[in-house]
Structure 1
Amino acid sequence: MKTTVNRFWIGAQSRQGLWLLPLLIVAAMVLTLTVGTSQFLRPENLFNLVAQAMPLMITAIGQLFVVLVGGLDLSVGSVISFTTAVLAIGGPGYLLIPSAIALAALVGATNGLVITRFNVHPIIATLGMQYVLLGVTRILRPTSGGTVPEIVISSVSGNILGIPMPIFWGAAVIFIAWKLLYGSRFGLHLFAIGGGSAAGSEDAARNFGLAVKRNIVLAYVASSCFAALAGIFLAGRIVSGDPNVGLLFELDAITAVAIGGTQLSGGVGSLHGTVIGALVLALLANGMNLLNISPFIQTAIKGAILLLVVGTQTRKRTGL
């Protein structure tokens, strides 16, 4: 019985993992906040909820790519801060935006190459990159400030036909991720590589002719590029560059991915589960703000949730 329950909890029966339980948690949270607070269903609060959830959702979707191959990317928070710093140095948006994304892709490629070519553990490789980027970011932007291109600001704060721009951001990012994960061979290869690694057969995908190292590098490139998109969104929202704005995003992203039913060992997970996981954390933060609960308690609860979710996966599965 215990084995059956555990297999249900980690979604062992499906490549998509367990996403139904987090969806039920979202429904319960929405119902609780609707009944418990009078502000939750107000349009301004719902808009803030979507805007607050968007950077985390984008970052978590990028994190999903590396988790599917059994990796972790701890540099995404620094990529976010670095992106806001680049956008705030002053200059036209048509130069700064592509430059920020290209630099993020370079960061992801470096992470992937260090991991695949030099056999450095993903946590160590991306943690080192996190500190490198943090130092560079503080050189570019020691304190918050600077001038963000107007196109970045309007792309976040405006609306089209009365629909807030964050909605379009979410739809576009989910569509891109869906095409990569489910509409291309790249996504299929990520699941195959992670599945073999989780089963203890790291060479399984390679034996079937897959370019394992190349796909792992591309997964880290995708993770960094999605983090850069989150940084662009945040730069437009706070209208400045900030060296601290990405702080702890990497842990929140990993938590959202894990809550969404993705196994940290790789090979099992889903895009919709990750979106649901990000929504759980966004509702948690929004609800606690409405209830005037200390942000320090919020952080502690997030850590407890991560421990609980990871604790349901055995040490062999997580590879940590």
Structure 2
Amino acid sequence: MTAISRRLTGARGSRQGMWLLPLLIVLAIALWLSLQTAQFLNGENLLNLVPQAMPLVITAVGQMFVILLGGLDLSVGSMISFTTAVLALGGPAWALIPAVFVLAALVGFSNGFIITRFNVHPIIATLSMQYILLGITRVLRPVSGGTVPDIVISAVAGSFLGIPMPVFWGIVTLAVAWKLLYGSRFGLHLFAIGGGVSSGVEDAAHNFGIADRRNIVLAYVICACFAALAGIFLAGRIVSGDPNVGLLFELDAITAVAIGGTQLSGAIGSLHGTVIGALVMALLANGMNLTNVSPFIQTTIKGAILLLVVALQSRKKMGL
């Protein structure tokens, strides 16, 4: 089997997973939409695609870190909504923005600590945190509204050094994630820990001297902070706090990561694959909106896609 075919099929030996096939899907969707509706190639629609996709790209990148461990974080959607609610409290930006990241780090630490110290399954631990955050968010902001700091709004609109701000957000996000995943020992440890989990030997990395618990906690902290970053972007875009803006973001992010070739059982995946998966989801959402597909049908389609992608992934045991 050639190297290209292994990448297309996600065959054994490719740590990056199946990412070329999703890239072809992106091109096929773009071609299909350009033929089906003239609105897709409209300049205004193309300019809106990047800011529409950016929150999902940021969230999916963070989600990828915990999925590489064989974990999952269902609290990222509530984290996004919570971030917008905090930013809309009307306080100074110099206090609110750092507070958002500190709170996100605490949430991520709590998720990781509960999972590693009390052996609670990641789905249960993060689902519980999802409801906790959702309740706090609705106390802070029962309905959408509030005042977002001007610096947050200006950081989303306009341009920087001639680069549109949404594109700049993407560049910074990918640069940080690339450094963490491929330019540090931490990234190597993630793949090692995930390899043990996917093989059914969860303490394999620990037996080789890797601080698995510390790295797992750190992965959940990173995931929560990326979700907070997506929340800041959305707060600047909608210019308000909204308790519902993060609704179902966790499922979209998981689907994007899975489409991009990352194995939900852990150890296999890539940053570029995750970005491609997020683009697939963004193009599908944009196309369904342009063709007036009901939001309820859109949710059904997304759920079916997630089920299909997970079912096609190879697993040695029941579970993720």
> When the two structures are superposed, what TM-score results if normalisation uses the length of structure 1?
0.96
Structure 1 residues 318 and 55 mapped into 2: Cα distance closer, same or farther (>3 Å)? farther
Contact conserved, 1:264 with 1:317, CA < 8 A, in 2?
no
Task: Look up the match of 1:40.
Answer: 40
Contact conserved, 1:7 with 1:13, CA < 8 A, in 2?
no
> What secondary structure is seen at the aligned counterpart in 1 of 2:230?
helix
The one-letter amino acid paired with 2:33 is L
Structure 1 residues 290 and 303 mapped into 2: Cα distance closer, same or farther (>3 Å)? same
Structure 1 residues 229 and 11 mapped into 2: Cα distance closer, same or farther (>3 Å)? farther
Equivalent residues in 2 for 1:1-320 (5 A)?
Answer: 9-160=9-160, 162-314=162-314, 316=316, 319-320=319-320
**RMSD of equivalent CA atoms:** 1.6
The one-letter amino acid paired with 2:71 is G
The Cα of 1:80 is off from its aligned counterpart by 0.2
> What secondary structure is seen at the aligned counterpart in 1 of 2:71?
coil
The one-letter amino acid paired with 1:160 is F
Structure 1 residues 175 and 221 mapped into 2: Cα distance closer, same or farther (>3 Å)? same
Q: Give the Cα separation in 2 of the matches to 1:213 and 1:318.
A: 23
Structure 1 residues 123 and 38 mapped into 2: Cα distance closer, same or farther (>3 Å)? same
The Cα of 1:162 is off from its aligned counterpart by 4.8
Give aligned pairs, total.
317
The Cα of 1:299 is off from its aligned counterpart by 1.1
Any unmatched runs of 5+ in structure 1? none
The one-letter amino acid paired with 1:253 is A
| Structure 1 stretch displaced more, 191-200 or 160-169 | 160-169
Q: Give the Cα separation in 2 of the matches to 1:224 and 1:51.
A: 20
Contact conserved, 1:22 with 1:260, CA < 8 A, in 2?
yes
Q: Give the Cα separation in 1 of the matches to 2:149 and 2:232.
A: 10
Structure 1 residues 215 and 282 mapped into 2: Cα distance closer, same or farther (>3 Å)? same
Structure 1 residues 65 and 318 mapped into 2: Cα distance closer, same or farther (>3 Å)? farther
Per-residue CA deviation, residues 106-165 of structure 1 (Å, 9 max, x unaligned), is 000000000000000000000000000000001111110000000000000112355321
The one-letter amino acid paired with 2:134 is L
The Cα of 1:291 is off from its aligned counterpart by 1.2
Any unmatched runs of 5+ in structure 2? none
Per-residue CA deviation, residues 192-238 of structure 1 (Å, 9 max, x unaligned), is 00011111121211111100000000000000000000000000000
Contact conserved, 1:17 with 1:262, CA < 8 A, in 2?
yes
Q: Give the Cα separation in 2 of the matches to 1:286 and 1:11.
A: 31
The one-letter amino acid paired with 1:218 is L
> What secondary structure is seen at the aligned counterpart in 2 of 1:130?
helix
> What secondary structure is seen at the aligned counterpart in 2 of 1:38?
coil
The one-letter amino acid paired with 1:127 is L
Q: Give the Cα separation in 1 of the matches to 2:128 and 2:208.
A: 33
Runs of 4+ aligned residues of structure 1 deviating over 2 Å after TM superposition are 5-13, 160-163, 313-320
The Cα of 1:316 is off from its aligned counterpart by 3.7
The one-letter amino acid paired with 1:271 is L
